[in-house]
Amino acid sequence: SGAVTGSAGTITHNSGKLTLSGNASEYTGKFEQNAGETTADSDTLFGGEKDIKGGTLNASGTKMYTGAVNLSNGSTFNYTVSGALTDNGTIDNNLLKFSDNGGSAIFNRWRNY
């Protein structure tokens, strides 16, 4: 696996499971998920807009910043803090945007230290 970079176009995920194990934070284009499940460390999550229209986006890490996540009805954003936070991110409308009656956002704390 290699890094995903660039800014042109849209990466679309329509079904099944997508796991990001390489660094995709340099990709500043749009990531669109219509169904299925995407899992990534927040440091490897796509750097551009994330439009989650269905399914689940799972992210974890030691930073609260993931870039803008747009959640539509029937979608879920699961964020797990894995260890001690290295920054004090603010959750506001710049981080999470709910549309079409919104999806759901779940924040978990996983302690292993």
Q: 25-71, pLDDT tens digit by residue?
A: 778 888 899 999 998 876 667 778 888 999 998 887 766 555 678 88
Rounded Cα distance, 61 and 44, in Å: 9
Contact call for residues 34 and 53 (beta carbons, < 8 A): yes
Global pTM exceeds 0.85:
no
Per DSSP, the three-state class of 98 is strand
Q: Which residue has the tokens 């979608």?
A: 75
- Looking at the predicted structure, is the pLDDT value of residue 19 above 60? yes
Rounded Cα distance, 111 and 46, in Å: 25
Please give the pLDDT value at position 7.
74
Q: 91-106, pLDDT tens digit by residue?
A: 656 667 777 677 887 7
Please give the pLDDT value at position 108.
74
- Looking at the predicted structure, is the pLDDT value of residue 17 above 90? yes
Give me Rg for the CA atoms of the chain. Answer: 13
Tell me the pLDDT band of 113, cut-offs 50, 70 and 90: very low
Contact call for residues 58 and 40 (beta carbons, < 8 A): yes
Rounded Cα distance, 78 and 60, in Å: 8
